[in-house]
Amino acid sequence: MSKTRPSRVALAAAATALWAGLAGPAPAQQPSPAPAIAAPDGKVAVLPTRPKRVEGAPGERVELVFAFDVEQAPGRDLALFVHFIGEDGAMARFQADHRPAPGTAMWRGGVEDRRVLTLPVDMKPGDYRIRVGLFDPRLQGYDARLDLKPREGVGVGEETKAYDVGVLHVKPPPDAPERPASTNAANNAPRGGSTTADPLDGAAYNDDHARQLGFTSLTFHDEFNGASLSTKAWANTFAWGDRTLAGNGERQCYLERNVSVSGGLLRLAAKRETVTCPKHERVMDVTSGMVATLNSFGQLYGYFAARIKAPSGKGLWPAFWLLPVDGRWPPEIDILEAPKSPPTSFFTTYHFNDEKGEHKSEGKEVAAADLSKDFHVYAVGWEPGVIRWYLDGAQVFETRRLVMDKPAYMILNLAVGGYWPGDPDASTPFPSEMLVDWVRVYSK
């Protein structure tokens, strides 16, 4: 693929920058040094979590409410880190929950930050101290952290400027962990769907592929077997609140009503209708759907996979991609982008800043049979120093250039129009759906 094609967020990076508190130069340039955190020490108090003790079994989701009492606002948007410290003093492997805490620049009085986390299926039972802190993502080391005032019931952690606010009790699973449902073509066809294997040299995806690559622990999954979408697992807007990427020239407004679950499938529907898009306050003539795990799940390294049936039509742009949970861009890992009609190919792309701080990308256009005719598994195996892309279990691309080394969350969306796919025309079928049979993430 073209090395100069902008990322789906490159042209909308100003919004991303605002979310992460990065008011400054364009993403392709090195940001200027950040001034010291504005709030004097002790002007933000940290309170115990609600509940103070939360329980869950491996594989379950738990909700935590982090509370603060703010005498003087920090003056900029900070990020919240959450660590889970085991009885042996070691951090749990999924501790890196460095997500922005929107609005901290203007925090006043009592404020709350709600998080929904999925406990890894192999998490050791026992008690874990919940340790939090606020930090400026533009600074490095402990200088990036804000001194908080611990209220009653809050302990000071062994780390600098970190505070123990509660206890996570991981219960033993009632039975042996259940093996995920089979994902081979014959046994995991979507309900009422096809059982055809993949188009790529006859290679068939099966449920052992992640394990064959060494990714043996299932850390997140949604089979979409319920009657509605889990709002604890999925959000319907971008992390910075936008419902379109205007910088890409996209035509759609993402709305919750365009996302549904039925027949064992997640359905992201693009429709021709005129709406005033929330937040943007502009009239748009197409609506569509997106989901993201920005509030529930992020992971450093792993095997990220989804079984998807792409739509076909001019201007339709289905995508499955990863963004850093800290809000900074780049990097970005695009697992699937299929902007052509009919979708007889898809693009794999990795966006990053090179040694000079300049935006670069590497990727490949992968030829395939019409991806709208059947379901296919799109995946990446992301490890230190290397990212490998897979279609139905067969590797199609890899890169070793300055590989992202911080946790990322998932986005699935059906964009419409834009500078890359072009706008829809009279031949574009509306409504059109991007169908997702399941999403699964593994770790080593």
Count, residues in the chain:
444
* Annotation says 433 is catalytic: no
The conformation of residue 299, written as its DSSP 8-state character, comes to B
- Give the closest residue to 259 by CA, choosing from 290, 221, 292: 290
Candidate list 112, 152, 250, 332, residue with the active-site label: 332
- Give the closest residue to 319 by CA, choosing from 77, 40, 7, 89: 7
What stretches of 338-385 adopt beta strand conformation (E)? 345-353, 359-367, 376-383
DSSP letters spanning 215-276: --EEEEEE---SSS--TTT-BSS-TTS-SS-GGGT--EEE-GGGEEEETTEEEEEEEEEEEE
User: At a CB cut-off of 8 Å and minimum separation 6, what does 239 contact?
Assistant: 16, 19, 99, 100, 292, 294, 323, 327, 409
SS3 of 322, please? strand
Token pair recorded at residue 183: 């994902």
Token pair recorded at residue 353: 């800043």
Candidate list 63, 152, 158, 337, residue with the active-site label: 337
Distance CA 347, CA 397 (A): 10
Amino acid identity, position 71: E
Distance CA 253, CA 124 (A): 42
Token pair recorded at residue 393: 């279990």
283 within 8 A of 375, measured Cβ to Cβ: no
- Give the closest residue to 406 by CA, choosing from 137, 12, 102, 114: 137
* Annotation says 337 is catalytic: yes
Enzyme catalytic residues? 332, 337
